[in-house]
Amino acid sequence: MNTESTAAVLSIALMAAYADGAQADAERQSLRDLAESLGQGQPELARALQGVLLRRTTLDQAWAALRDAGERELAYEMAVCVCDADGARTPSEQAFLDQLRARLDAPAEVTARFEREESALAAEALRPLPAAAAGAAAAAGAAPAGPTVAATPADAAAVDRSILRHAILCGALELLPQSWASMAIIPLQIKLVYGVGQAHGYSLDQGHIKEFLAAAGVGLTAQTLEQYGRKLIGGLLGRKLGGTGARVGSAATGVAMSFATTYALGQLAQRYYAGGRTMNTTVLRETFQGLLGPARDLQTRYLPQIREQAATLDAGRVMDLVRQGVR
């Protein structure tokens, strides 16, 4: 892909992130920061993403820059994954995807097959967690309250091992070129937080965990867009572009950052639930940011294990891990 095509695909993915029109201010700022980060050092890409943020670029303009059928299918797939990152599609997100589908040259069975693969993983992010208690909505500006139960002592070493296993797996998924690989990361992160909370005696539901992620500053839509953006810029998303990306990515592409995010998130959950959920939103965000630096250092250390794990993964194995948990 040339720079113009890359800019167009990322512009459409960013439009998908804005399609529901319901992001909180923090999520919108996260998307703006992400757009600046992805465009850093690439003036043409930066201008394209700025055009989306300022509402100067239209869908028709971005689509016109995609002259190859594979590029258009890739833009559609990325848009679907971004729209589904935070749960069920809103009517406005569905309308946006319908506009994209109508522009595709691909037969209906091609898009239907992809959506079956993607929706199976997206559904896992919405599946009720076992033995979940009724969650309580977080108060504005506060960390999620969650069910009222007393914390119990946990085996910290066992929790640390679980966090590391999840981080290595999520890093490995980001090294794969297939769209479904990145879609599995969020369900795995949700189940990691669930497991950490359970180890400390808390029974959590999906709503509470998503509130916890949001309070920590981990936007699901922004995280998904960032994963695909790094893959695309690194030349890893090549499954539809002549097969050039059908291999495990190299460290030079800058991928595997999901290791750091997942590891820091697990360690934050460990501190939060071990401490009786006393952190407010400000402390949660500051603590998470403080944990990211050491986690990024660790990902270099564990890169051989991440790459080894990536070489063993296919769609069936990933779905099993998402459904049954990482052991």
Q: Which of 122, 140, 159 is the last residue of a domain?
A: 122
Q: Are 165 and 94 members of one domain?
A: no
pLDDT over 60 (residue 148): no
Q: Which of 66, 92, 122 is the last residue of a domain?
A: 122
Give me the DSSP letters along 13-65. HHHHHHTT----HHHHHHHHHHHHHHHTT-HHHHHHHHHHHTT-S-HHHHHHT
pLDDT in tens, 122-138: 666 556 566 543 333 33
Q: Are 135 and 251 members of one domain?
A: yes
Most confident range (mean pLDDT) of 31-40, 178-187, 308-317 is 308-317
Q: Are 208 and 225 members of one domain?
A: yes
Split at pLDDT 50, 70, 90, the class of 73 is: confident
Q: Are 48 and 13 members of one domain?
A: yes
Q: Are 163 and 116 members of one domain?
A: no
Q: Are 153 and 73 members of one domain?
A: no
Range of the domain at 51: 3-122
CATH of the domain at 62: 1.10.3680
Q: Are 112 and 212 members of one domain?
A: no
Q: Are 196 and 118 members of one domain?
A: no
Q: Are 33 and 135 members of one domain?
A: no
pTM beyond cutoff 0.85: no
- Structurally, the chain folds into a number of domains equal to 2
Q: Are 213 and 111 members of one domain?
A: no
Do 79 and 116 contact (CB within 8 A), yes or no? no
Q: Are 307 and 159 members of one domain?
A: yes
Q: Are 161 and 98 members of one domain?
A: no
Q: Which of 122, 141, 167 is the last residue of a domain?
A: 122
Do 179 and 286 contact (CB within 8 A), yes or no? no
Is the four-CA dihedral 89, 92, 98, 99 of positive or negative sign?
negative
